[in-house]
Amino acid sequence: MSSEAARQPVELLLIRSEPPCRRCQDTVAVLQAVAEALPGRVTVRVVSTEDAECARYGAVLTPMVVVNGKIACAGTVPVRSGLERLVAAELAR
């Protein structure tokens, strides 16, 4: 791992429904748990489907999780262990 890469936290972006549905709320909890397990190395950002930023992802099925700009899942709550492995892979890049 390069030192430059090590300084770049992995961004977990959640696109949630407006108002947030139950699955979006569950997804927030999963993302926060992943971030808390890796202090300073993961950021969590939440935007709603009302946000203009959503347009770049096309049709949105919530909850949608985007990891460092790449869609990881849409319409389903991510599995925490899988998301942790994906984050680890991103940190190792």
Partner 1 sequence: MPLDRRIYLDWNATGPVHPEVADVILPFLTSRFGNPSAPYVLGRDAFDAVEQSRRQTALLLGCAPKQLVFTSGGTEANNLALKGAFFSGAAAGRRHLVISAVEHPSVLATCEWLRQQHGADLTQVPVDSTGRVDPEQVAAAFRSDTLLVSVMHANNETGTLQPVGAIAELARRHGVLSHVDGVQAAGRVAVDVSAIGCDLYSVSAHKFGGMKGAGALYVRDASGLEWAQQGGRQEHGLRAGTENVPGIVALGKAAEVALRDLDANRAACLRTRAVFDDLARKIPMTRMNGHPTERLPNTTNLCCLYADAFSVVLALSVQGVCVGLGSACASHAQEPSRVLRAMGLSNVAALCSIRVSTGPTTSLQDAEFVAHLLQETVERVRLVTSPEQIGVCDDDCPCFTGGTIGVE
x/- mask, partner 1, residues 47-86, rule CB under 8 A, reads ---------xxxxxx--xxxx-xxxxxxxx-xx-xxx-xx
Rounded CA gap, 83 and 85, in Å?
Answer: 5
Tell me: does residue 34 bind partner 1 (CB under 8 A): no
Measured from the CB atom, the residue of 7 and 70 that comes closer to partner 1 is: 70
Sequence-distant (6+) residues with CB within 8 A of 65 are 12, 13, 14, 15, 27, 31, 71, 72, 73, 74, 78, 83
Residues in contact with partner 1 by the rule CB under 8 A: 56-61, 64-67, 69-76, 78-79, 81-83, 85-86
